[in-house]
Amino acid sequence: MQIKLKLNKFLLYALVLVLSGLAGYYFFAAFDRVPAKKESKIFYSVIEVIDGDTIKSEVNGKVENIRLIGIDTPEIAGPYREEGCFGQEASLKTKELLSGKKVSLVSDASVSDRDKYGRLLRYVFLPDGEFINAELVKGGYAFNYAYENFQYLNYFNDLEKQAKEGRLGLWGSGCDYYFETR
């Protein structure tokens, strides 16, 4: 009788432990996959779209270059670099989404505040809540770029996978990115 009671108690503890582990896994997995929420009610004017993943905005009275967290777009031609396949299209898409707009700039505590070039690293949102970083990956205009681990890495991985499967944008037949491992 006592052995049966100990076995039942052990099974109950094991079941609670397994269910707790599963609940924790799904909670954190779901948290990592949802789009960022606007944390800031402050909106800044976009002064210039430099390329597909960098904009200029006035922040606290100072003009800042803002690098969008977690994405990388092909380069546009410049004095020191060649143009990447789909670079112009990515740049034009970012201009379409952000030129002349007000944006919310949201930092991520899991990444540096600035990159090695001194640019602020931020998630960019429009006043209606549109998550620009995610939209560029989703539409095939940007790669998911993990130069540092960031809060929405898995979410961006999922968006990139969908864009690849749909052969959208830079994942289409005009570029050779599809088979690259990024």
What is the per-residue pLDDT across 48-61, written as a single tens digit (0 to 9) for each?
999 999 999 999 99
Is 182 within a domain? Answer: no
Catalytically active residues are: 67, 75, 119
Report whether 123 contacts 105 (CB < 8 A): yes
> Does 53 lie in the same domain as 6?
no
Angle between helices 2-33 and 153-165 (to 10 degrees): 70
Whether residues 28 and 105 fall in one domain: no
Residue 101 in any domain: the answer is yes
Rounded to 5 degrees, what are φ and ψ at 29?
-65, -45
Same domain as 51, residue 5: no
b/e map of 139-154 (b: 16 or more CB within 10 Å)? bbbbbbbeeeebbbbe
Cβ(46)–Cβ(57) below 8 Å: yes
pLDDT exceeds cutoff 50 at 138 = yes
Cα separation, 83 vs 87, in Å, equals: 6
The pLDDT of residue 82:
84
109 and 48 share one domain? yes
Q: Do 18 and 49 share a domain, yes or no?
A: no
How high is the pLDDT of residue 2? 64
Amino acid at position 96, single letter: E
pLDDT digit string (tens) for 16-55?
Answer: 554 554 444 444 444 444 455 555 679 999 999 999 999 9
If DSSP codes are grouped into helix, strand and coil, which group holds residue 74? coil
Q: What is the pLDDT of residues 144-156, one digit of tens each?
A: 998 889 999 999 9
This prediction's pTM: 0.77
The answer to whether residue 178 sits within a structural domain is: no
**Total domains present in the chain:** 2
Domain, as residue range, for 127: 44-171
Whether 18 and 69 share a structural domain:
no
Cβ neighbours for 61, distance < 8 A, ≥ 6 positions apart: none
